[in-house]
Structure 1
Amino acid sequence: MLVAYLSAFACAVCYGVGSILQSIGARRTATTAGALDPRLLVRLAVQVPYLVGMGLDLVGWVLSLVAVRSLPLFAVQAILVASVGVTAVLARIFLRVRLDRAQAAALVVLGLGVVLLAATAAPGKPRPVGSTAAVLIALGILPTALGCFWAGRALSEGRAVLALGGLSGLAFGGTALCARALEADHTLVEVVADPLSWALLIYGVVGMVAFAAALQRGSVTIAMAGQATAETVVPAIIGLTLLGDHARSGSGGIATTGFVLTVLAAAWLAAHSRVEPDAVTTPPPSDAVGSAVQTDPTPDPTPAERC
């Protein structure tokens, strides 16, 4: 159980650092017309900050899979959204971004909620799911992917950031759900043949592309606000109703309080923190600087006009 908790907290740190680095790389890449273009990842592959951020996210993702094998989804996913707090703290330390009293209070509430969840979550294996439930979980990829296409094309830029962030959260929550529902005693052949194994990988790709598209279109904090909420609430509900996740005996109320505090504090902190990638990216191009310093756009008069 200690390994599972350490994995979840380490994952939150990886996600928090990785999100800042990914936002820098994504904002350096030209915006695509569609929201879910796999070629976007190819273009981002030349951005070193994005690659480093993706590497941290990959490490964090593996750590999250370790955590969900032993802990209920509502606890693991809530701990993971603490990455929002990690991002805010790192911005304060390295980017000199000031945190006001409300943001500091939100960090305290976030920490309190995580502590309550860590103390009340009941470790254990999930309840086995039938083939029908496994197929339904896998089919959730379709509405998630279609929602990304729609959000990128039909919504305004500001709304698209929040929507794409939320849909990326659903996709990453899907990976956690698939990992939690997979049978631990399956052979390698059975794991490969299980639709949840393939769904886990596809959910991960959809989540990466959707989050990258969100970062291109606006603030990393707004994208993370949508992601944190969707990635936490939906898997937690499914885990409680389908997989038999539960809190320790007699601590259901405390666990619920911790979950609500964590989600609300993370979503509020993400939406109100000022962590803008423009402050740490490359300076504006020379033509932009030239146009900024030009004070009189009127062309010089011709010799005839002077006469």
Structure 2
Amino acid sequence: MLLGMICALASAVCYGTASVLQAVAARAAEPGTGSGLDPALLSRALRQWRYLAGLALDGIGFLFQIVALRSIPLYAVGSALAASLAVTAVAASRLLGIRLSRTQWGAVAAVCAGLTMIGLASGPDGNRAAPAALGWSLLATVAVVLLSGPLLGRLPAGPRALLLGLGAGLGFGTVQVAVRLIDSLAVPAVLIGPAPYALLVGGATGFLFLTSAFQRGSVTVATAGMVLGETIGPALVGVAWLGDRPREGLQGLAFAGCAVAVAGSLTLARFGEPSLEGAGAKSQG
């Protein structure tokens, strides 16, 4: 339990730092077609060291996340990952010399308080067998998200950034659930069934949508959409189908902790825009 929560928080540190590096790299990349979803943007961003460094941190964070997903409930992992916004805010305030307002420091404190509540209330991860159709449902969800990309590109800037971020969150949320569904890493067992493919396609979809959202619209709005998508969806799946439960008698504390952590994270999303713009300005100076 303790190891799982520590790994989830370590993953949030990696992801929060990586988001800053990737957003700066995406905004510095050459503009493409102007579409809301630009697959070629990934190849242009990959030419920059900041994006590569962010990917390396994402890889380390994913290893921590796997350990967490195998030992604590999905709702606890999701809430901890939402704390990556607090990591981004605090790191930017130290490294970029940007001051946080009292409201923003209060949001950081709220995230920490919410995570403490979740840690106290979390039981072990659920051991209920997943329905056979759940893996295929993950693949279908990712397919719908991908097919929606061209349509999202035609929306105005505000809703476009929000929905691209939400699509990224659904992709990353699919990865979380798929990790729980994979029982063995042995070949050929790992190649059988939809879960491994949902993991790969979901991760690629998340990076594609989030990178496009960072360049094409508001980083603030996109980040808020991502947090909602990767937090709420997996939590509901874990409780409804995988048997995730808080400790007996502490259900209210777990629910309140999730609500406080996510609310604090979404408040901090307002901090993302100036910090990342400042980072971009410094990188070009």
1:2 deviation in Å? 3.0
Match of 2:199 in 1: 200
1:272 deviation in Å? 4.4
Q: Distance in 2 between matches of 1:228 and 1:59?
A: 20
1:61 deviation in Å? 1.8
Q: Distance in 2 between matches of 1:284 and 1:73?
A: 37
Match of 1:296 in 2: none
Match of 1:290 in 2: none
Post-superposition Cα deviations, 1:44-85, rounded to whole Å, max 9, x if no partner, equal 111111111111112112221221111110000100010000
Residue correspondence of structure 1 range 144-293 to structure 2 within 5 A: 144-151=145-152, 153-184=153-184, 187-281=186-280
Any gaps of 5 or more consecutive residues in structure 2? Answer: none
CA contact (8 A) 2:115 2:261 kept: yes
Post-superposition Cα deviations, 1:260-298, rounded to whole Å, max 9, x if no partner, equal 111111112113454443323367999xxxxxxxxxxxx
1:124 deviation in Å? 3.1
CA contact (8 A) 2:72 2:122 kept: yes
Provide closer, same or farther for how the CA distance between residues 160 and 69 of structure 1 changes in structure 2, counting only shifts above 3 A: same
After TM superposition, the score normalised by the length of structure 1 is: 0.87
Query: SS of 1:143's equivalent?
Result: helix
Give the aligned residue type for 1:198: Y
1:195 deviation in Å? 0.8
Match of 1:16 in 2: 16
Post-superposition Cα deviations, 1:99-141, rounded to whole Å, max 9, x if no partner, equal 1111111111111001111111111353212322221222111
Give the aligned residue type for 1:38: P
CA contact (8 A) 1:73 1:245 kept: yes
Match of 1:79 in 2: 80
Give the CA RMSD over aligned residues: 2.0
Q: Distance in 2 between matches of 1:26 and 1:68?
A: 29
Give the aligned residue type for 1:87: T
Give the aligned residue type for 2:80: I
Q: Distance in 2 between matches of 1:136 and 1:284?
A: 42
Query: SS of 1:155's equivalent?
Result: coil
Match of 2:121 in 1: 120
1:43 deviation in Å? 1.1
CA contact (8 A) 1:116 1:255 kept: yes
If you compute each CA radius of gyration, which structure gives the higher value, 1 or 2?
A: 1
Provide closer, same or farther for how the CA distance between residues 267 and 251 of structure 1 changes in structure 2, counting only shifts above 3 A: same
Provide closer, same or farther for how the CA distance between residues 19 and 141 of structure 1 changes in structure 2, counting only shifts above 3 A: same
Give the aligned residue type for 1:180: R
Provide closer, same or farther for how the CA distance between residues 160 and 147 of structure 1 changes in structure 2, counting only shifts above 3 A: same
Give the aligned residue type for 1:134: G
Any gaps of 5 or more consecutive residues in structure 1? Answer: 287-307
Q: Distance in 2 between matches of 1:169 and 1:263?
A: 14
Q: Distance in 2 between matches of 1:36 and 1:97?
A: 31
Query: SS of 2:9's equivalent?
Result: helix
Provide closer, same or farther for how the CA distance between residues 140 and 274 of structure 1 changes in structure 2, counting only shifts above 3 A: closer
Match of 2:49 in 1: 48
CA contact (8 A) 2:11 2:61 kept: yes
Query: SS of 2:244's equivalent?
Result: coil
1:221 deviation in Å? 2.8
1:235 deviation in Å? 0.9
Match of 1:29 in 2: 29
Q: Distance in 2 between matches of 1:90 and 1:149?
A: 34
CA contact (8 A) 1:158 1:217 kept: no
Q: Distance in 1 between matches of 2:18 and 2:172?
A: 15
